[in-house]
Structures are given as structure tokens and as C-alpha cells.
Chains A and B, each alone.
Chain A
């Protein structure tokens, strides 16, 4: 079963616009990670945010984490056509080693 639910399932924006997607999860976590996947290929790691962190930045990416609401958001600023991909959140929790539980993903289309 999937721990996370992502919203929206799909997003279509113009190049230069910002894209925001949300992830909700059900249980306490150690950390939450965001990944990108292009056309059914491997996953590319974007950001890891720990449960005691509230916000992290990496280039044009900004991730927030609200553990009281069990939710996270990923913001891509000034989007580019190359950002077209599916984005997944994944949670790691407890003593489950490196087991990641993934959300269903958000498909983002950036139109040039």
C-alpha cells in the first residue's frame, strides 16, 4: 500500500511558471524524499528533508515539510521544458531500514 498521496495527479504549466505539488502521508517518518522520473526511466533523487527540518532548497527547488499535518510540498520555480517528468514523494520511517514508501506521483508537463 502507498503511504503517500500526491496532489495534483497531473499538472500542465507554461515555461517560466512555478509548479507546486503536494504530498500527504499517514504515519510518522524519519525523512521524506522527492524524486523525478522521466518517461519510465530510473528515479533521480532531488531532495531529502528530515523530520526535524521544515524547509530545504536546492537550486530552483524548494521543499517544505509539516509533520503536524503529515504533508510536504515541492515547488519548482521558473520551470523549463526539461522539468517535464513525474515527481514522486517517498517516506522512510521507523527502523524500516531503507524501505521507501512512495506516493502515486504527479505528472508535470511544462509547455514551451
Chain B
């Protein structure tokens, strides 16, 4: 099976712009989660989508949003970019079983630089 793919891999934006990142999960996986990784804050959970519905949300401002499509592919959007949004954005997929005992598989990440 192909792994989790994320596009684009690298992105440079300027403050005030918006950005959309894409994640394609492993075939058959219905849960997609997004994480932000920065040197200062480490790895932080953004949100999780399952069956096109947001199932969990982290402590990020409303500028960060996401969605999931019927084929389980997910996008996240950041509006009005700030310098502090520069980070590695990681997507993870899993089957989405209700027992919460499942491995999450991560993509290679999208590195966003905000100038």
C-alpha cells in the first residue's frame, strides 16, 4: 500500500496570505489527523477528521481549519498567515476504529515558511 502523501512538500508564503495543505491517507484509512511541529512548541495536535466530520480539535485559533472529503482525503487551511505559523505540518492517518488503540501513520510533512 502507498503511504500517507502530503502536498506540497515545501511552501513559502508572506504574512497575511492564506495557504491550503493536502493529505491523502493510506487506502482504507478513514481518520486523518493534523499536527504542527515547531522548534519552540514541539508537536501539537491541530484536529482530527473521521468520515468527513471533525472528531477532535486542538487549541489553535480559528484561522486554522480543515475538512475531509468522501474519499478520506483531507485539507487544512490557514488564513491570515503569521510569522509564527512557520512550521512542519504533519498529517497522520489511521483506520478510525473506536477503541482508540490504533497506530497512526504519518506523512512526510509540508514545510511552511512565512516571510
Contacts and interface: CB of A to CB of B under 8 A. Distances in A.
A103 B42 CA distance: 8
Interface string B48-71: 101000011010000000000000
Interface in B88-112: 88, 90, 92, 94, 96, 100-109, 111
A3 to B, nearest CB: 10
A105 B88 CA distance: 15
B contact patch SS: strand
A35 B56 contact: no
B100 A98 contact: yes
B31 interface: yes
B102 A98 contact: yes
Interface residues of A, number: 27
B56 A98 contact: yes
Interface stretch (A20-28, A44-52, A59-67, A73-81): A44-52
A112 interface: no
Contact of B48 (A44, A48, A90, A99): A99
7 contacts: A31-B101, A40-B37, A41-B108, A42-B90, A43-B90, A97-B50, A98-B100
Given A40-B37, A92-B101, A100-B35, 18 more contacts: A30-B101, A33-B104, A35-B106, A40-B109, A41-B108, A41-B109, A42-B4, A42-B106, A90-B43, A92-B100, A96-B100, A98-B55, A98-B96, A98-B104, A99-B33, A99-B56, A99-B58, A100-B92
